Structure 1
Amino acid sequence: MIEITADMKAIIEQAILSFVATINEDGTPNLSPKASLMVVNGVLYFADIASPQTIVNLKRNPAVEINVVDIFQRRGYRFKGRALILPPGDDEYLMIANWVRATNGPEYPVDHVVKIETTSIIPLLSPAHVFARPPRSQDEIRNTYYQKYAVKPIGA
């Protein structure tokens, strides 16, 4: 398993929304948005709150890919690996379930918790990083996209 770095964790926390790809029985992709992706002790986890097809797919085939991109920094990561569905009552399950409920409210169901054994991590960079000439700093890129989306950072 490849450990998640501090930068990867920061991107996950800043982006909030990630996308989990699994494989349907007919071989087609299933893409499910997740706001519950988190890193604990260098390991990825997410909660199944309303994604029954994701869990059906992972029970049949544990192959998974998760994409996370911070839209303002225009960078992120692609995590590939194997999913392990944790049983209710497991310490790791309870840790994630308790975090979801503390963050979103006690009414949020946590039907499953999934632990990811990462086998590959690839950085994702938008053309804003790759093709800009002269190269732009991360601050310039971030400020460009704050303006584009008409938002201001908290505290600004």
Structure 2
Amino acid sequence: MTDLTAEVRASIEASVLCWLATMGEDGFPNVSPKEMFLAQGNSILIGNIASPRTRANILATPQVCVSFVDVFAQKGFKVKGVATLHVGGSDGFARLSPSLIDMAGPNFPLRDVIEVVPTHIAPIIAPSYTLVPDRPDDERRAMTYAAYGVRPA
């Protein structure tokens, strides 16, 4: 098991989406974006709203990979781990779902909670960090805002 450090937790909080990769029984990967996720204890909790393929894959093969990136900082983390599916109505769901339900709101009912216990964590860093290492973070962020055509709030 690998611990979720303060840096990983901050990255999770700064990310809008995470990407959950699972393995199908057919041997092919499945990647699905998730909006409801957070760090709790030493686990990443992900709300499953409408992903039957993700659900089936986890039940068949619990090894998963979760990635999240702050698109403006161009950094994030890849977390490999073992997933447990806590189905709606179970004790695990009741225990782990309240914060995710708050995030989802009334229009997006949670079917399940996916709990990922990390076994390996690695940084995701845009190539510009190695190609132009002396660029200040505020300049890097400003360039990203310009590339996406957005302004900071």
| Structure-1 separation of matches of 2:151 and 2:96 | 30
2:67 corresponds in structure 1 to 67
How far 1:151 moved relative to its partner? 1.4
RMSD (Å), alpha carbons: 1.6
| Structure-2 separation of matches of 1:75 and 1:95 | 31
* Identical aligned residues as a percent: 32
| Structure-2 separation of matches of 1:26 and 1:103 | 33
| Contact 1:80–1:120 (CA under 8 A) maintained in structure 2 | yes
SS, match of residue 27 in structure 1: coil
Deviations along 1:94-115, whole A, 9 cap, x unmatched? 3543223322322322111111
| Structure-1 separation of matches of 2:129 and 2:40 | 29
How far 1:137 moved relative to its partner? 2.0
How far 1:41 moved relative to its partner? 2.1
Deviations along 1:45-67, whole A, 9 cap, x unmatched? 10111111001000000010011
2:149 corresponds in structure 1 to 150
| Structure-1 separation of matches of 2:135 and 2:106 | 44
SS, match of residue 145 in structure 1: helix
Unaligned runs of 5+ in 2: none
Question: Any residues of structure 2 matched to 1:5-44 within 5 Å, and which?
Answer: 5-44=5-44
- The aligned amino acid for 2:38 is M
- The aligned amino acid for 2:151 is K
2:136 corresponds in structure 1 to 137
Unaligned runs of 5+ in 1: none
Q: Number of paired residues?
A: 152
Deviations along 1:77-133, whole A, 9 cap, x unmatched? 00001101124342x523543223322322322111111111000001111111115
| Contact 1:47–1:96 (CA under 8 A) maintained in structure 2 | no
1:102 corresponds in structure 2 to 102
Normalising by the residue count of structure 2, what TM-score does the alignment of the two structures yield? 0.91
